[in-house]
Amino acid sequence: MENKRFEIGTPACGLLCAVLGIALALCLIFLGFWKTLLILALGGVGYFCGACNNKADFFRKTVDRVVPKKGE
């Protein structure tokens, strides 16, 4: 069974987004833009490390797309 609690358009999702917005605003006020940006970037890296099953394969495919092999 799928959890529909935080589906877009529900009151719970609206409340969650409001709390996240307030937290972001407080970080910007008390920490400043660059420190807040660093926290968000490191949080994104942490999410990626926790959510991606096969990191080596992902990086290999990404590097092959960005830097193709010679002669291709």
Give the pLDDT confidence of 33-57 residue by residue, as tens digits: 999 999 999 988 888 878 778 888 8
Q: What would the two tokens of residue 45 be?
A: 């890296």
Give the pLDDT confidence of 7-26 residue by residue, as tens digits: 777 888 888 889 999 999 99
pTM (predicted TM-score) = 0.64
Q: How many CA atoms lie within 13 A of 71 on its CB side?
A: 0
Q: Inform me whether the pLDDT recorded for 1 exceeds 60.
A: no
User: What is the predicted pLDDT for the residue at 69?
Assistant: 80
Q: What would the two tokens of residue 9 be?
A: 């358009």
